[in-house]
Amino acid sequence: MILTRALLAFFATAVTVTAVVVPSVEKPNILFIFTDDQDARIDSLSYMPNVKKHLIDQGTVYRNHYATVAVCCPSRVSLLRGQYAHNTNITDVSPPHGGYEKFNRLGLGENYLPLWLKKAGYSNYYIGKLMNEYTVSNYNNPKPAGFDYQDQLVDPFTYTYNTAVFSRNGDPPVYYHNTYQTDVIHTKTLAALKAQRDKSDPFFLWVAPMAPHGQFKLSEKGHEDIFSEPPISAARHAHLFKDVKIPRRPNFNPANQTKTASYWKLLDQLTEAEVDELDETYRSRLRALQAVDEMVGSLFEELEAQGKLDNTYIIYSADNGYHLGHHRAYAGKTTNIEEDINVPLIVRGPGVVKGHISDVVSAHHDLAPTLLALAKGDEFVPDFVDGGVIPWTEGLKRHPKPASVETFAVEFWWEQLFNEYKSRLSGPTGTNTYKTLRVISEKHNLKYAVWCTGEHELFDLKKDPYELQNIYNSEEVKIQLLDRLDAVLSVLQTCSGASCRNPWHVIHPDNENIRTLSDALDKKYDVLYRRFRKISFKECLAYFSATNEEPNDLLLTESLEQNQQLFTVPPNYPHFAQQKQASLVQQRSESCPHQLITEEKENTQPIRVSRADALRLFSLVPQGVESDIGHSVPTEKELDERARPVPQELVDAHVDWVNHGFYSKFGN
Ligand SMILES: *[C@@H]1O[C@H](CO)[C@@H](O)[C@H](O)[C@H]1NC(C)=O
Ligand SMILES: *[C@@H]1O[C@H](CO)[C@@H](O)[C@H](O)[C@H]1NC(C)=O
């Protein structure tokens, strides 16, 4: 009865807690369903009947929603904070440039979405995967802040479908013997939803299944410590989709490589055997998503039974997209192709148009302010937030802080392309550090990328939706267009807060009418844009260093004096980048005093163990037998009966999982 008892205890205390916060009548509930690595572009949603029935048919599909950093931990933090990764500086999935400990060291978890919703009067629940490096050892150091009830997956078992290990409310981790991970999440989420049935204050329930992410295994022998393989389905779904294949669109394993930068140009066409393997991976992903789809069905049934469907926003999204053989790349994400950055976003709720497909442009950092707008808690959104409100309803259309109209950036920092499920690390590689601009409007659909290698790409997705022709050097592209794209990307490279929502305003501070690329293309600004310093990186680094990529000023200074009379130069304009840097530093030092940093480091420093020890410790939690797990979704009672504590020896060991190939090798 562990689960039920915990929920009852929560509700006993919740009454007194909520009594003192903002009155919450009228506020809608929010159910946020967030999968891991689910594509919007290769049809995964077409295989989810409950998502179609309850969300797509009854809500709006936002087909221009994007992750601005296409890998999970950075993307999740970006969403939680409403910021670009260059402002969170969580740029990787693991230490030293990402992960749960850096997240806390920078104080990011002390001022983020759940705490803002709490102030707005919400009861918050989180069930499933939070972020990398939240482990069996640091689960309560600290416990994630802002949740009334939380039950999160812990590493090193987050990516093992048949070894479901969770820490509930910062309690010592528990595993559920022989139970399929997504089903554990299903049962826990349904229980949480049931437990709030008679409550009147609004809830925010974030459920984050790990599916359809790949599975991690520690190898017994051989060169690699750890390898990763395609997702595993529940036993009841293993037989599905035998004949399904990755859609063969023009960018799938093309005969001629048309991508031109870094590693892309070096990739060989995939062999038939490799393509077969990728097709099987595709089927595994669809099978793994079936348990998620069943959960979606149950959650809707329960909301309906409680009569809360009309006062609940249900949002479905994923941390980043996924590619499988596109432009010859093996399975993975982290690139700037549409398959990786364009993510599902489906919204259903009061005032959201039913059965509609919308072209409104938005990004993950817009979700936090949008949820706060729905929660009537705008005043709790800090100024550092880069995102704005997405016009999901008529009311939100009039919001004073709208999301960026048509322009956003995608960023990445790493040494090479990540390949999942198979080591192609010995094959051609190249750096994966780039800045990408997307402009999407009725008139334009452009992708402009600047790589740390100095290479450039420009794709016109209106004419070339599969990114098959880099037109950066082509005759048809005018220097005037390139100047605008480069300039607005420089602004977004260092933007924060308002300058991310309307980057054109930084360039045209005295002209409110310039809000889009079309506006800025007016010939009279040609000289202004010519004078912009072009984006470049000093060197290729796997992390965000301000001195490596931020120019001291955006305008070329030598021409500043010469041309001063030709146009208005914003008074503080050349110092824009430095100002931003200063505020970033200030913000960091406010939230994490130096003593705290060293103190925490001492407490949580992982301990280096041998591979044999890591393997032994990992095996202390028994793995379920694949073909036997997941015949049915467990009841709460069954789940309680299967719960066992994670052996203390493993908890105490503080294993340095990152040194055993966890995280970075596969870009999870
Ligand atoms: C981001 O973090 C890295 C360490 O992961 C650090 O070296 C770098 O200076 C930080 N960048 C900024 C701009 O603070
Ligand atoms: C590939 O490139 C070659 C040489 O440029 C060209 O002759 C051929 O038609 C191209 N093949 C395809 C499938 O586009």
Q: How far apart are CA 184 and CA 194, in angstroms?
A: 15
pLDDT cut 70: percent of the chain above it: 85
CA distance 304 to 549: 51
Has residue 471 got a pLDDT over 90? yes
Reply yes or no on whether the pLDDT at 6 is more than 70: no
What is the DSSP code (8-state) at residue 129? -
Pairing of strands 174-176, 345-348: unpaired
Provide mean pLDDT across the span 163-176. 97
pLDDT of 430 above 60: yes
10 compared with 578, residue with greater pLDDT: 10
Confidence at residue 602, expressed as pLDDT on a 0 to 100 scale = 42
Beta strand spans in 200-243 (E):
203-208, 215-218, 226-229
Q: How far is the CA of 90 from the centre of ligand 1 (A)?
A: 9
What atom of ligand 2 comes closest to residue 256's alpha carbon?
Answer: 1
Phi, psi of 457 (to 5 degrees): -135, 145
Task: Provide mean pLDDT across the span 629-645.
Answer: 97
| Residue nearest ligand 1's atom 7 by CA | 545
Asked whether 255 lines ligand 2 (CB < 6 A), one says: yes
And the tokens for 227? 């390898």
pLDDT tens digits, residue range 213-260?
999 877 666 555 677 889 999 999 999 999 999 999 999 999 999 999
**How far is the C-alpha of 400 from the C-alpha of 380, rounded, in Å?**
15
Query: Ligand 1 centre from 585 Cα, in Å?
Result: 10
Please determine, for residue 559, whether its predicted confidence score (pLDDT) is greater than 60: no
Q: What is the mean pLDDT of residues 620-634?
A: 88
Residue 81 has pLDDT above 70, yes or no: yes
**Which positions ≥6 away from 94 have C-beta within 8 Å?**
73, 132, 133, 658, 662, 663, 664
Least confident of 41-45, 380-384, 385-389, 579-583: 579-583
Q: How far apart are CA 91 and CA 435, in angstroms?
A: 13
User: 507 near 486, Cβ under 8 Å?
Assistant: no
Helices (H), 36-133: 49-50, 72-81, 85-88, 100-105, 113-119
Query: Which residues have C-beta atoms less than 6 Å from ligand 1?
Result: 89, 96-97, 543-546
Atom of ligand 2 nearest to the CA of 255: 13
- Beta carbon of 565 within 6 Å of any ligand 2 atom: no
Which ligand is in closest contact with the Cα of 257? 2
- Cα(255) to ligand 2 centroid in Å equals 8
pLDDT above 90: percentage of residues in the chain: 77
Q: Judge whether residue 495 has pLDDT over 80.
A: yes
Query: What is the rounded average pLDDT of the residues 429-452?
Result: 96
Stronger pLDDT, 592 or 655, i.e. the higher one: 655
Expressed in angstroms and rounded, the spacing between residue 88 Cα and the centre of ligand 1 is 10
Per domain, the residue ranges of the chain are: 29-217+229-408+600-650, 434-539+546-591
For residues 311 and 29, what is the distance between their CA atoms, to the nearest angstrom? 6
Is residue 339 predicted with pLDDT exceeding 90? Answer: yes
Mutating to test ligand 2, I would choose from 248, 251, 256 the residue with most ligand atoms within 8 A of its C-beta, which is 256
Class (C level, CATH) for 29-217+229-408+600-650: alpha beta
**Separation of CA 485 and ligand 1 centre (Å):** 26
CA–CA gap between residue 219 and residue 222 (Å, rounded): 7
Amino acid at 490: S
Distance separating alpha carbons of residues 532 and 246, to the nearest angstrom? 43
pLDDT at 413 over 60: yes
> What are the two backbone dihedrals, phi and then psi, of residue 449, each rounded to the nearest 5 degrees?
-125, 140
Give me ligand 1 centre to Cα 139, in Å.
25
Smallest CA-to-CA distance from 492 within 415, 554, 575 is with 554
Cα–Cα distances in angstroms (integers) from residue 550 to residues 96, 187, 506, 546, 596, in the given order: 21, 48, 16, 5, 29
CB 358 within 8 A of CB 345: no
Categorize the per-residue pLDDT at 550 as very low, low, confident or very high, splitting at 50, 70 and 90: confident
| Residue 533 region by backbone torsions, left for phi larger than 0, else alpha for psi between -120 and 50, else beta | beta
d(CA 282, CA 44): 9
Round the average pLDDT of the chain to a whole number and report it: 88
Note the pLDDT tens digit of each residue in 88-132. 999 999 889 999 999 999 999 999 999 999 999 999 999 999 999
Ligand nearest to the CA of 468: 2
Distance of CA 585 to the CA centre of its chain: 24
Provide mean pLDDT across the span 415-434.
76
Distances (CA, A) of 424 to 169, 326, 329, 332, 419: 40, 15, 10, 12, 7
Give me the mean pLDDT over the 135-150 stretch: 97
Residue 7 pLDDT class (50, 70, 90 cuts) = low
Residue 422: predicted pLDDT: 67
- Spatial contact of 192 and 125, defined as CB atoms under 8 Å apart: yes
Give the model's confidence band at 556: pLDDT under 50 very low, under 70 low, under 90 confident, else very high: low
Could you give the residue numbers annotated as active site? 72
Task: Give, for ligand 1, the residue of 544, 550, 585, 663 to mutate: max count of ligand atoms closer than 8 Å to Cβ.
Answer: 544
For ligand 2, atom 9: residue with the closest CA: 256
Q: How far apart are CA 624 and CA 161, in angstroms?
A: 9
Which pLDDT belongs to residue 427? 57
CB under 8 Å to 592, separation ≥6 — which residues?
A: 105, 106, 107
Phi, then psi, of 330 in degrees rounded to 5: -70, 180
Is the CB of 12 within 6 Å of ligand 2?
no
pLDDT value of position 227? 73
Residue 96 CA: nearest ligand 1 atom is: 5
pLDDT band per the 50, 70, 90 thresholds, residue 625? confident
Helices (H), 120-252: 181-195
